Amino acid sequence: MIRTALTALLSHWLRNPVQLAMLLAGLALATALWSGVQALNAEARAAYATAEGLLSDGGTAQIEHPSGQIDLAQFVALRRAGWQVSPVLEGRAEIGATRVTVLGIEPLTAPAGTGPTLAEPDLEGFFEGLGYAHPQTLREIGPTEMPLAPAEAVPVGTVLVDIRRAQRLLDAGLYITRMTLAQEQPQGLAPLESLAPDLRLVPPGDGAELGGLTASFHLNLTAFGLLAFAVGLFIVHSAVGLAFEQRRAMFRTLRALGLPLRHLTACLATEMVVFALIAGSAGLVLGYALAAALLPDVALTLRGLYGAPVPGALQFNPLWALAGLGMTLAGTGLAGAQALWRLWHMPPLAPARPRAWAMASRRAMRRQGLAALALAAMALGLALWGSGLLAGFALLAAVLLAAALAVPLLLALILRMAERRATTPVAEWFWADSRQNLPRLSLALMALMLALAANIGVGTMVASFRATFIDWLDLRLVAEVNVMPRNSAEAAELQAFLAPRTDAILPMQRIDATLAGQPGQVYAMKDHATFRDNWPLFAPVPDVWDRLAAGEGVLVNEQLYRRAGLRAGSDTLDLPGIGAMPVLGAYPDYGNPLAQAVLALERFNAAYPDTPIRQFAIRTSDAPALIAALQDDFGLPQGQITDQAQAKELSMAIFERTFLITRALNVLTLAVAAVALFAALVTLSGMRLAQLAPLWALGLTARELAALELGRALVLGALTLLLALPVGLALAQVLLAIINVQAFGWRLPLQLFPGDWARLGLWAMLAVLAAAALPAWRLWRRGPSQLLRVFAHER
């Protein structure tokens, strides 16, 4: 009996291959997008974990100097006093064809767990100068004289060597970068303050985390993945619902023949699970391919933007595959639950009523409208009074849901207006008929609206971010050349060398400090037009630059300004060693997780004497000549000079990569929405013959009818696009002004990119055209014979 039932149930799919294809495609696409994005995120996160484990020795405490350099003598003094510390020397150097981070450690004293756990460390070789690097780094380095061995555990872009080797590679003097502390320290140690008062102990896990920096990027990716998955579920939901509806008579017969409802349910559930597994596996393969295709771009973006060492090659993770399949199964269950519920509540011998389209009834429409209104009110309330990241996400969800629910209502309204204005009978029918069939398309149109709104919203956010960031980068990198002295002696020499050759020398000095209870830094700023003319400030007090130059206060970065709730002109900030300083204004500082305050150079040096100069920003009208002079006459290695024009170019290139990823995801989400629309239109085209037949009999040709069908899809698509525009902008505004501020502390101005909308509109129309083409074509080619059958009493 069960086998007979299964055969009967499956025969439906054989007779409706397009429906089956749609169901599987919907599931596979949803899985692919979701799991592809997850694979990217997981890969990046694994890379961060490696990096944090190695670079910042996440699990161990460290000793640092504000300048970033510790005299070797101090290290020796600590060792003599019994402190179990291990030296680390870190710096950038050119090896082979690329610049890498050279990380020098002393393997015998390095605390267990720090540094990479190499599988078979060749200690002897290590002491003799063997370096370890990620295979990808090795490829980037290319042929070199330095002995190098591959090690997966080393982050991309880093070469791990013995500290003596690092000293030679970095041309470093008698200093180290930091010390790591062993977990077990002997009893009764002399305190650090008495041995080396200028050093400070950094507890484990403190400091900048790559994960935090890149979180915004991954948040976007995840949001995209989730949205695509949701849109995919729309497809599955409509395909499953339709298949159940069409098999109602069959269910009835089977039950009349004595198949218990439980068995029928089990059969159908099995069918769903099998489909989910087949489509889910296909989706995983697709998702893996997608992630592998996108990863090089993502890796470059992350490496370039945040210096996060992400390898460009994807590794297969079985856990990821399982999670993806689980998500597919859960989604299918969600999509099929309603259909199964209806099955349980159908009296066994009830006549096969034509599907009672819930939304077609006026009452359901009204309920939907009320729900949309309630959600909109909730969104408004959240926007006005909500606070916190959670409220931000709730607002986002409320806006999207309210808009999606409102789509059919607004479309119906527009179509009714158009119908009133129609002058020809065919036009009148066109609008009336579009309105009548709206309920059957509304789910797909809602999905399309969501996809378009997300495209516009995320696109606007990314583009706003890019525009703002590039402007800001331009201002930040306004100096033509940057030079990094190795120590204070060289700094003094450089200053003397540069003074007659440049327009201005702007030294960069900073100390680490706790600002308003947050980890942060205090910077010195020389009073100069470079800053006065270029730094965008918000909420500055009058004569802000003069007052800053006079040492009367500080500027703070936006993160600190917002998080500490400071007000320029009225509030003060406590600086170590100085005390309360008035806040004079705030400046944008995108991507920086740390709090920052800027102090006039003179005031800074008075408060924190002997802070080393880390960098000179140099203004000059002839950068190439200056760089040549620095190299040839002064003898400064190339590694200590940065040409800002090149740095800028690099940043731009990285942003283009970010755009590529966003665009690829945009196109994919849109494709999923197009499939949803296609599913709905194919379904509809079967039911529409009886609606179209009278028109054909009245003297419209099948070709005209097909053209009208195509036109209807385009009109509905265009109207949906129109509705998606404000929703997308609202979405962007929520992302930029609320979520970003809550999550990262800075706010971006919303900028409009009509060119992008036009391009998106074109894409959307192409997608709609693709979705509507097959049903229209079938109507045109096979129309007459099928339409005739309507009248031939075959129904």
Partner 1 sequence: MIALDIQELSKSFDSVEGRIPVLDSVSLQLQPGQSMALTGESGSGKSTLLHLAAGLEDPDAGQISIAGEALTGLGDTGRAALRRAHIGLIFQQFNLIPSLTVAANLAFQARLAGRHDPARIQTLAERLGLGELLARYPEQLSGGQQQRVAIGRCLAARPALVLADEPTGNLDEATGDSVLDLMLELTEADGVALLLVTHSPRLAARCAARVHLRAGRIGAVP
Nearer to partner 1, 550 or 697 (CB): 697
Query: Minimal CA–CA distance to 613: which of 770, 692, 507?
Result: 507
- Give least dist CB 777 to partner 1, A: 15
Nearer to partner 1, 554 or 715 (CB): 715
- Give least dist CB 416 to partner 1, A: 12
Nearer to partner 1, 432 or 504 (CB): 432
- Give least dist CB 769 to partner 1, A: 23
CA 184, 186, 191, 194: dihedral to nearest 10 degrees? Answer: -120
Pairing mode of beta strands 579-587, 554-557: parallel
Q: How far, CA to CA in Å, does 380 sit from each of 383, 394, 593, 732?
A: 5, 11, 30, 15
Q: How far apart are CA 117 and CA 100, in angstroms?
A: 20
Alpha carbon 564 to chain centroid, angstroms: 26
Nearer to partner 1, 444 or 706 (CB): 706
Nearer to partner 1, 428 or 552 (CB): 428
- Give least dist CB 772 to partner 1, A: 19
Nearer to partner 1, 341 or 791 (CB): 791
Nearer to partner 1, 721 or 787 (CB): 787
Nearer to partner 1, 532 or 703 (CB): 703
CB 445 within 8 A of CB 414: no
- Give least dist CB 249 to partner 1, A: 20
DSSP for 436-449, please give it. Answer: HHHHHHHHHHHHHH
DSSP for 10-62, please give it. Answer: HHHHHH-HHHHHHHHHHHHHHHHHHHHHHHHHHHHHHHHHHHHHHHS-TTS-E
Applying CB under 8 A, the residues found at the interface with partner 1 are 424-426, 428-429, 432-433, 435-437, 690-691, 693-704, 784, 788, 790-793, 795
Please tell me whether residue 671 adopts helix, strand or coil conformation.
Answer: helix
Q: How far, CA to CA in Å, does 629 sit from each of 370, 500, 626, 729?
A: 73, 12, 5, 51
Place of tokens 């025969």: 11
Q: How far, CA to CA in Å, does 128 sit from each of 91, 164, 637, 708?
A: 20, 9, 25, 79
Nearer to partner 1, 693 or 779 (CB): 693
Nearer to partner 1, 571 or 704 (CB): 704
Nearer to partner 1, 431 or 472 (CB): 431
Place of tokens 């996400």: 393
Pairing mode of beta strands 595-600, 518-525: parallel
Using a 10 angstrom Cβ sphere, with 0-12 exposed, 13-18 middle and 19 or more buried, the burial of residue 692 is buried
- Give least dist CB 372 to partner 1, A: 25
Residue 101: φ, ψ to 5°:
-85, 120
Q: Is the dihedral of CA 199, 201, 206, 210 positive or negative?
A: positive
- Give least dist CB 657 to partner 1, A: 50
- Give least dist CB 701 to partner 1, A: 4
- Give least dist CB 684 to partner 1, A: 13
- Give least dist CB 440 to partner 1, A: 12
- Give least dist CB 467 to partner 1, A: 47
DSSP state of 565: T
- Give least dist CB 788 to partner 1, A: 6
Order of all β-strands in the sheet with 615-619: 504-508, 615-619, 481-483, 641-643
Q: How far apart are CA 727 and CA 456, in angstroms?
A: 8
Query: Minimal CA–CA distance to 294: which of 280, 274, 314?
Result: 314
